[in-house]
Amino acid sequence: MTSYKKNLLFDAQTIAGRVQQLAKDIAASHPDDPLVFVGILKGSFMFMADLVRAMDRPCEIDFARISSYGSETVSSGKLDVIMDVGISLKGRAVIIVDDIVDTGLTLSEYRKHLQVQCPASVATVALIDKTGRREKEVDVDYYGFRIEGGFVVGYGLDCDENYRNLPAIYVLEED
C-alpha cells in the first residue's frame, strides 16, 4: 500500500480568510438576488458550510452528487448525476459550489445540466482552481486559490475517502 506524507498548503486561517472574501464578492455581484447555493458532493461539504455561513443574507441551499471518475483517477469524460438538486431553479440566481476544478468536466457539464431548468443566472465558485489538467473550458467565476498541480487533500478533499475532515489543505507526496 502506498504511504503518503502530507505537506501543508493552506492553513485553516488562510482558508477562512479567502472564504469570507468569496462570500463578500458573491454578495456584491448579486446585490438583489435571493441566491440558491448548490454544492457538489461530497468534496464541497465543508467549503459550502463555511461559505453560506459567511453570507450576510438569506439564501437557499441544496446539493447534487455527481460521478465523473468512477473508481479511476482519470476522467471518463462522462458525467453521471447520481442525486440532483431538489429546489426548483427556474428564474433563480444559482451559485454552483465545488471544492476543486481539475479537468473542468464536472463543473462545465453540471452547469449545462442546470440550464435546462431555466435559472435566471448560474455562477460557479470553487475553492481551488487547479489548472494543470484542464480538458474542458469552464468559467470559474469565483475561486479561492489557483494552483497548477499537486494531489491536494483536506477541507473536504479526499484520497480514497481519507483526509476530508482535515481543517487545512495539504499536498500529498509519496513517502
The answer to whether residue 102 is catalytic is: yes
Residue nearest to ligand PRP (CB): 43
CB 102 within 8 A of CB 154: no
| H or E element at residue 17 | helix 12-29
Q: Which CB, 105 or 122, lies closer to ligand PRP?
A: 105
Task: Give 33's DSSP letter.
Answer: P
CB atoms within 10 A of CB 43: 22
Beta-strand pair 93-101/35-41: parallel
Q: Which CB, 40 or 89, lies closer to ligand PRP?
A: 40
48: its cell numbers: 459550502
Binding site for ligand PRP (CB under 6 A): 40-43, 68-69, 75, 98-106, 158
Closest separation in Å from C-beta 56 to ligand PRP: 26
* Of 102, 129, 160, 175, catalytic: 102
Closest separation in Å from C-beta 57 to ligand PRP: 26
CA distance 169 to 154: 5
Closest separation in Å from C-beta 138 to ligand PRP: 8
Q: Which CB, 23 or 101, lies closer to ligand PRP?
A: 101
Backbone angles phi, psi at 49, to 5 degrees: -60, -45
> Which residues are the active-site residues?
102
